[in-house]
Amino acid sequence: MDIFVETPLIHCKVYEDNNACISMAHGTKFSPRTKHIALKYHHFRAAIQKKTVRVLPIHTNEQVADIFTKALLGDKFTYLRQKLNGW
């Protein structure tokens, strides 16, 4: 007796506040300064082309990931913590 389990479809949104990153993710060409990225991130571009990953722009003040990667002032930290946790 064979059991068929369907592979789930995963769709992911990536919010990016850097326009250069967004254009590199969607573009097909690399400049001499970015060609080293071509091999390392090939799988990411393939996911974008298959539409399982979408890169969406977000204003830098709304980038919740900054709470994990930057030293923030109290007000900004509190604002992003509120967005992330709800408290």
pLDDT digits (tens, 9 = 90+) for 62-87: 998 889 988 999 999 999 999 988 87
CA-nearest of 33, 10, 78, 25 to 56 is 25
Q: What tokens were used for 68?
A: 């994990």
Q: Are 15 and 58 in contact (CB under 8 A)?
A: yes
Q: Each residue of 3-16: pLDDT tens digit?
A: 888 887 888 998 99
Q: What is the mean pLDDT of residues 2-30?
A: 82
Delimit the domains of the chain by residue range.
Answer: 12-85
Those residues whose C-beta lies under 8 Å from the C-beta of residue 26, and which sit 6 or more positions away, are: 48, 55
**Residues 31-41: pLDDT tens digits?**
676 666 666 67
pTM of the model: 0.68
